[in-house]
Amino acid sequence: MGAQAPLRDEPDPVVAAEARAALVRDIEAGGAFDGDPGWREAFVAVPRHVFVPYYYVSVAGGYERLWGEDPDPVRRARWLRGAYADAPLATRVRDGDLLSSSSQPSLMAKMLVELQVDEVDEGGPCDVLEIGAGTGYNAALLAHRLGDGHVTTVDLDPEITESARRHLAAAGYRPTVVTGDGAAGCARRAPYDRIIATCTLNSVPRPWLGQCRPGALVLAPLATGLIALRVRDATHAQGRFLHTPAYFVPLRGGSGRPAQEPQLGELPRRALQSELFRFLLELTAGTLDPYEALALWQRERRPVRERFGVTVSGEYAWAWLDDPEGPYAWPL
């Protein structure tokens, strides 16, 4: 007997492997694996299409759903190509609002590299807490590199965590998937060497620091940037932003309140078109008048993200430019 043809809802494994290899080449060409090429093998091994059995693409007037079981072979091929595009994918939409997505793979690779997981070598692989389970794809990459027992992922929505578990099991991974408020972390699995968030924060949840080992690293989206905080103890952490821009859905839960929208008034169009100025506006929203932000941005010669940082000390947290004790600081 010849080889059995793949089921309609399963893409040709050769075609899927070729698409995955092409994605990895694109990520590698962009330099995302620089600094820790060990993540390349994880992206080669983990099949992204398993984690996005359907997703939504923007069309005029809303979203179009693509899925792997579509009876139309042309649309199924579109779904598979999109699953391995280096692009974010909307995976849950409700009333026109995006609730969950699968992040752009090259950005995921950059964030995983920035976790510096090989830095933790005493007692075996590092223990990682992921905030925002999403499809489970990022947790699978972590589990492939570190082992199932060293990865915990949390999400507030039980539908999201249940589908993440299914996707992970289908791909052969079984990290701990927890339904709960990501702002509260996951105390029962603590302590952690690394915390990575795949949702945007407006401040730093204090429970996270208390669940970290001294010297742990917290990497999270904040104000269209990525902040890398080194944890000293349960009440102190400090770090700078990376140069990489980052746009994620907001954290929902205890500290997931929407950030205050800045009132832009009649700010110059040139400034508003600058990604770095928009970053400054987001970072200082609610604490610094937009015109003051503009004056600062111009006076400091359009500062890049890496000049900004965040300090957490006890009940206080603030963002700063150049120096945490300097003249430019704003409470979070």
**Smallest Cα–Cα separation from 309: which of 230, 233, 253?**
230
**Smallest Cα–Cα separation from 132: which of 245, 250, 237, 50?**
250
212's torsion region: left (phi>0), alpha (psi -120 to 50) or beta? Answer: beta
Burial 117-141 (b: 16+ CB within 10 A, else e): beebeeeebbbbbbbbbbbbbbbbb
Grouping H, G, I as helix, E, B as strand and the rest as coil, residue 227 is strand
Grouping H, G, I as helix, E, B as strand and the rest as coil, residue 172 is coil
Backbone angles phi, psi at 217, to 5 degrees: -120, 135
103 a catalytic residue: yes
Interior CA angle at 45 toward 42 and 54, to 5°?
A: 105
Sheet strands (E) in the chain: 54-59, 62-67, 89-94, 97-102, 128-131, 151-155, 176-179, 192-197, 212-222, 225-233, 236-241, 308-313, 316-321, 329-331
252's torsion region: left (phi>0), alpha (psi -120 to 50) or beta? Answer: beta
Please give the structure tokens belonging to residue 206: 């204090």
**Whole-angstrom Cα distance, residue 251 to residue 247?**
12
Catalytic residue among 103, 106, 163, 203: 103
Which residues are known to be catalytic? 103
